[in-house]
Amino acid sequence: AGYLKEAFEVCKKENVLFVADEIQTGLGRTGKVFACDWDNVTPDMYILGKALGGGVFPISCVAANRDILGVFEPGSHGSTFGGNPLACAVSIAALEVLEEEKLTERSLQLGEKLVGQLKEIDNPMITEVRGKGLFIGIELNEPARPYCEQLKAAGLLCKETHENVIRIAPPLVISEEDLEWAFQKIKAVLS
């Protein structure tokens, strides 16, 4: 079992709630509905955001079953913007689009294609290309920021993480043509 599965098993053994922070990875980003699905882990609680608002409206949520969230009595916890009707309507629409347009499956397919293309870039500074769905990292043996800046100048926004990784996380609705355009920009900068 991987790290996540082992951490989950330790939590179960010690009677500790297992909370999955799926703000960035949840709702199709990794080619599964939740990233923890890759390890067959069903957490006690999910923390969701980003994709929940469909890129239109900021919303986040904590999701769990009644046994867990039922410990809160009405009025015992407050939130300034909790239950915002507009945010909730946007969230419902975003989830419908995610399902109707099969964006999770699409993320998996497009991600596999892009990772395969990226692995073919011949540059010894690239130490690893990894990813699940459209959540991809290109690890370098030097700082990634200068390359992210070159990509930005070329019209492609990427974020460096851990100093030496270029993170690629395009919208799940990206067209194949736009993804190919992005790959060509990355290839030009890293070749």
Average pLDDT over residues 167-172: 97
Tokens representing 64? 């769990």
User: β-strand 159-161 against 165-168: which pairing, if any?
Assistant: antiparallel
Mean residue pLDDT across the chain: 95
Inter-residue contact 131 to 115 (CB < 8 Å) = yes
Average pLDDT over residues 98-107: 98
pLDDT of residue 19 exceeding 90: yes
Q: Which residue has the tokens 């070329």?
A: 154
Domains of the chain from N-terminus onward: 3-100 (3.40.640.10), 103-190 (3.90.1150.10)
For residue 20, which phi and psi values (nearest 5 degrees)?
Answer: -100, 115
Which H or E run includes 178?
helix 176-190
pLDDT of residue 1 exceeding 70: no
54-69 pLDDT, tens digit per residue, is 999 999 999 999 999 9
pLDDT of residue 107 exceeding 80: yes
pLDDT of residue 48 exceeding 90: yes
Inter-residue contact 45 to 62 (CB < 8 Å) = yes
The pLDDT value recorded for residue 72 is 85
Q: Is residue 74 very low, low, confident or very high in pLDDT (cuts 50, 70, 90)?
A: confident
